[in-house]
Structure formats: C-alpha cells, structure tokens
Amino acid sequence: MKSIKSEEIAQLEKQYRISLINSLIGFRSLNLLGTTSNDGVSNLCIISSTFHLGANPPLIGLVIRPEREHNDTLRNIKLTGQYTLNNVLPEWYMQAHQTSASYPSGVSEFDACHFKKQYIHGFKAPFVAESNICIGLELREVIDMEINGTTLVIGEVIQILTEDGLIGVDGTVDHTKASTMTVAGLDTYFLPQPVGQLAYAKPEIEPHLLNPDVNSNV
Amino acid sequence: MKSIKSEEIAQLEKQYRISLINSLIGFRSLNLLGTTSNDGVSNLCIISSTFHLGANPPLIGLVIRPEREHNDTLRNIKLTGQYTLNNVLPEWYMQAHQTSASYPSGVSEFDACHFKKQYIHGFKAPFVAESNICIGLELREVIDMEINGTTLVIGEVIQILTEDGLIGVDGTVDHTKASTMTVAGLDTYFLPQPVGQLAYAKPEIEPHLLNPDVNSNV
C-alpha cells in the first residue's frame, strides 16, 4: 500500500497534486454547461463537478472555480438565472474538452469549438444540439465557499430534452444507449460498460440483480 | 425529441421521478463512506454524490440526505470529525449496494454486508480493506440546505491509501487498473473503458491525444 499524508500532499508538485486530487473520487459526471449573456453572447464549458442534490424538487448542484475576469459562465448564470447541462458523446468529446481552453471573454465556445446552439421557446440558455440528453435549469441558490473561493451553484431542473427511447420504463435514463461518456481526473475520458442493475436493498434480503434475464446482457 | 417540463416533472409518479432525476447528469462517483461513533460502532454506506471542490487545499464535498433517526453517518461525521471514502470494485459491488439497506442504528454495515475494517494509526474512521483506493477526510464545513433538507459535507483529504502502482507518473489515479466502478441513477453499476487522455486545451491549438502511442490502447 502507498500512503500519502496531509503534509506530503501539501508538498507535492503543483500539477501532480492537481491531477491526483482531481482523480481521487473516481469517475465523474461529464456535461457541457451552456449559458448566455443578456446581450445574447453564448458560452459553453465542460464541467465534471455536477452532483445530484435531490429529486423533489429536482435539484442539481455544481462547482464553479474562483471567478476570473473572463469567467463568463457564473456571470451569465447570475444575470439570466438559467443554464443548461448536456451530455458528452464519443464522436465529439475532443471538441467538448476544447471548451476548457481559456478563450477571451466575448468569444463563444459554441462557435470556437464547433457546436450548434439549440434554443427552445421560453428558455434563455442554449442547449447543445449534438447532445442527446439535455437539462434546462433555473438558478435557486449561490453559495460562495470562503474555504477556497469556489462557488456552489444550485439549480432546479425545469426542462428535460432527450432523444426518443432513452428513458427506461422505470424512469432511469439509459446512458449506455445514449453513449454518455465520463471522465476521471482532468483529461481522461471513458465509456462505461454495464455490469448489473440491482434490486432495492433491504436488510434481510441478499443483494441480487433486479432482473437476471435482462441483466445477463445489460 | 422527448421534452419534459417543470409541471410534468412535478406530476410524475414518485419512484419514476426519483429514478429519472437521479440518472439525469450521467455517471457518478461511487464510493463507500466509512464512519465510526465515539463508542466505536462503525457505519458504512454507499454514496454517489461526492464532488471535487478544489485541489489546494484538497477538498471533497458530498451530500447527505435529510437526517433520519437512524442516520448514523452524519452524526458520526459531526462527532468524530473524520470519515473515509473507498472505491467500489466489481468482485463485491453487490455487497456495496447492500449497505444502502435501512439497517437499524447500532448495526454496522461492515459486519452486515461482510466488509473488513482497516484502521490506521492516528485516524479514527475505518477504511474498507477490500478497496484499493481509500481517502481519509477531516470535516471542514457543514452546510444545511434549507431548500430540501439535505446537508453538504465538505472535507479535506488528509490521508490517501492506494495499492502500489495505481498512481500514474503525472499524479492521475489509474481507475482502469484499479477496476473502480461507477453508477448511473440509483442502482445500475458500470465499469468504464478508456477512450482517450487529452492534452491541456489551449485556444489556438486543435484538441489532441496527450500521447497518441500510449493512448492508442489506453
């Protein structure tokens, strides 16, 4: 076993530490975050810090790094109160990664990285037309984290857009069929292979596959 | 395209809505969260709401659902100030899922679900001996979310324990080699297959593999 303690973590070379800490918790939700300014300048950035906060009301949280001058995303979310999350697919994951480049304020990553904006009636922020699972959110809460200068953004899901046939009979989104990707650390992209869907766990019952026939080739 | 709007989400059957909202953002970090009471009664639960908050200091956040009488996890974290996150492996992912069953307070899921506790000198909370990537955290902040009664727990990484050979030369944890699993929604478990590791993105450079020779069989 390799053991790394607090004092050693603090002394690690900066880039090594960033890669290590970013990859510790495993695979992360991967989405493109779409916003627009009040002037209609769109913005798009890849994000892997979203988390499920609750189903009723339907809430999703995400972390925005310390505000820099050209950080349009947080400003747009605060100004318009709306934003989108869109899944990342293998055909264009390199373009999605490219949205993490530090483009100047005013340059839309939709254009620079070759994504098509999709607008729907009554919703200000642009969706990514190339994605097949898109979420429209309305800002509910902004929490400034004194501990490290990041910002937690909490939003309510007010619009779901998916390609037909991607939501299962029980409500679960079929990310295998959608080809949704995931990321570990900062830069390594993956496609998950299903292992099994398990039944709701109860204390006196041994854990088991929800539907062994279906799950044999999930 | 299938479109589901706010009013329709609110009217969905409860379990369907829970499954849908839980699976929207894609694949999630999957870990076992280990704690202990001051009396030495251990507790273990599976968690898929962890998120990376920052690398310096090294901070990880997670969501705990509204406190119930037998929710020992949050109480233990508050009492002892320490907890562990441990990755989930295919050989025993069903046991890991079983920790989500509602065992009475005082029953250790380590025992009920057949996991071995690993203690290290100077750290109160138990690690999962069966995991090969383990994180020891110290509580830094508790945020009670009025919006839905959940609790955000922010902790600093003060101990990393990994099997030898799982941290790459650049610091990134090799979750493929570790066989770390991920989850979508509440109950469907996956093993990710690597697609590519990309170079740091810059505005004027086309996105590309970090090391095409290595990445051809990442």
Closest CA to B89 of B46, B27, B137, B34: B46
State how far the Cα of A59 lies from the Cα of A62, in Å rounded to an integer: 10
Choose the weakest-confidence range: A62-71, A95-104, A193-202, B131-140.
Answer: A62-71
- Can you tell me whether residue B68 is helix, strand or coil? coil
What is the per-residue pLDDT across B89-128, written as a single tens digit (0 to 9) for each? Answer: 999 999 999 999 999 888 999 999 999 999 999 999 999 9
State how far the Cα of B144 lies from the Cα of A141, in Å rounded to an integer: 13
Surface of A (58-117) touching B: CB under 8 A = 58-61, 63, 65, 85, 87, 90, 93-95, 97-104, 107, 112
State how far the Cα of A152 lies from the Cα of B36, in Å rounded to an integer: 28
Interchain proximity B201–A166, CB inside 8 Å: no
Closest CA to B195 of A21, A179, A48: A179
**Structural element, H or E, at residue A23:** helix A14-23
What is the per-residue pLDDT across A26-53, written as a single tens digit (0 to 9) for each? Answer: 999 999 999 999 999 999 999 999 999 9
Confidence bin at B70 (pLDDT 50/70/90): low
pLDDT the model gives residue A71: 76
pLDDT the model gives residue A66: 85
Closest CA to A85 of A124, A54, A126, A146: A126
B11 touches chain A (CB under 8 A): no
**B143: which 2 tokens?**
């945020």
Share of chain B above pLDDT 70, in %: 95
Interchain proximity A135–B19, CB inside 8 Å: no
Higher confidence at residue B211 or residue B115?
B115
What is the per-residue pLDDT across B194-203, written as a single tens digit (0 to 9) for each? Answer: 999 999 999 9
Average pLDDT over all residues of chain A: 94
pLDDT reading at A217 higher than 50: no
Higher confidence at residue B213 or residue A54?
A54
CA distance A56 to chain B (A): 8
pLDDT the model gives residue A69: 55
* Burial annotation B100-137 (CB, 10 A radius, 16+ → b, else e): bbebeeeebbbebbebebbebeebbbbbbebbbbbbbb
pTM of the model: 0.96
Surface of B (16-35) touching A: CB under 8 A = 16-31
B214 touches chain A (CB under 8 A): no
State how far the Cα of B149 lies from the Cα of B68, in Å rounded to an integer: 11
Interchain proximity B2–A162, CB inside 8 Å: yes
pLDDT the model gives residue A215: 55
Choose the weakest-confidence range: A3-7, B70-74, B146-150.
Answer: B70-74
Name beta bridge partners: B84. Answer: B34, B136
Q: What is the mean pLDDT of residues B59-84?
A: 89
Confidence bin at B217 (pLDDT 50/70/90): very low
Choose the weakest-confidence range: A121-130, A185-194, B204-213.
Answer: B204-213
State how far the Cα of B32 lies from the Cα of B53, in Å rounded to an integer: 19
Surface of B (148-177) touching A: CB under 8 A = 148, 150, 152, 154, 156-164, 166-168, 170-173, 175-176
